[in-house]
Amino acid sequence: MNESLIIFTRYPEPGKTKTRMIPALGAAGAADLQRQLSEHTIDTAQTLQQSRPIEIAIHFAGGDRNLMLSWLGNNHSYYPQVSGDLGVKMNSAFHDAFERGKQRIVTIGIDCPDINPLILNQAFEALKNHDLVLGGAEDGGYYLIGLSKLVPELFLNINWGSDSVFTITQKIAQQLALSIDYLPVLPDVDRPEDLAIAKRHNLKFCRKKTSKGD
């Protein structure tokens, strides 16, 4: 098994996850959305695993390994996320996977429920003859990045909350003369206005009730 799918997620503790959804869903509702998005993403990964022998490596924040095991089961590998910004976390995850002997590594989050097994399979196939594969998000970031070799420069000096993450990453890759393949552009579920995307995938949530004086 020389391929790894890294999934970044967070233990669904109210008040500490999906905080931009709290005004619409409340703290408990936002955490439950985090839970459902995580489970949906892992179900997608497991569907791919039925036809492609990939490792599913879950890099988590919050909680601990025992809580993650009781939530998501013991069929996956679990790694606590390192300290630092998203670039530091991703670079560390890629580094560790390559150190474990993986040759093609794809990293995703849990905010893009439109990811399906065909897209994930396409990403791994692309890495057979490309250095880098990117799946751009509609907000200017990316929902997927895959590498066939470690390239730390892709994760340095980037404002991860901006709408230029994809463009800057692409520019760095071009400056390094990396061969790049691209996946379809997809939306993320980050803000209350994105909840319609989650609804398309039968994720259940209740909007926070407000009083008439609000």
pLDDT tens for residues 97-109? 999 999 999 999 9
At 30 the three-state DSSP class reads: helix
Residue 212 covered by a domain: no
Task: Measure the CA–CA gap between 156 and 174, rounded to whole angstroms.
Answer: 15
Q: Which helix (H) or strand (E) holds 81?
A: none
pLDDT tens digit string along 57-110? Answer: 999 999 999 999 999 999 999 999 999 999 999 999 999 999 999 999 999 999
Q: How many domains does the chain have?
A: 1
Note whether residue 107 is domain-resident. yes
User: Do the domain assignments include residue 55?
Assistant: yes
- What integer pLDDT is reported at residue 202 of this predicted model? 86
Residue range of the domain that includes 66: 3-199
Task: Let me know if residue 128 belongs to a domain.
Answer: yes
For position 182, which CATH number holds? 3.90.550.10
Using the predicted structure, report yes or no on whether residue 213 has a pLDDT greater than 60.
no
Contact 146, 169 (CB under 8 A): no
Would 205 be classed as within a structural domain?
no
Residue 204 placed within a domain: no
**In the chain, what percentage of residues exceed pLDDT 70?**
96
Q: Is residue 211 part of a domain?
A: no
How buried is 74 (Cβ within 10 angstroms: 0-12 exposed, 13-18 middle, 19+ buried)?
exposed
What is the per-residue pLDDT for 79? 97
What 3-state class would DSSP assign to 38? helix
In-domain check, residue 209? no
**Cβ atoms 141, 188 nearer than 8 A:** yes
Tens digits of per-residue pLDDT, 109-161? 999 999 999 999 999 999 999 999 999 999 999 999 999 999 999 999 999 98
**pTM for the structure as a whole:** 0.94
Residues 206 and 155: beta-carbon distance below 8 Å: no
Quote the CA–CA distance of 209 and 120 in Å, as a whole number: 37
Give the pLDDT score at 208. 65
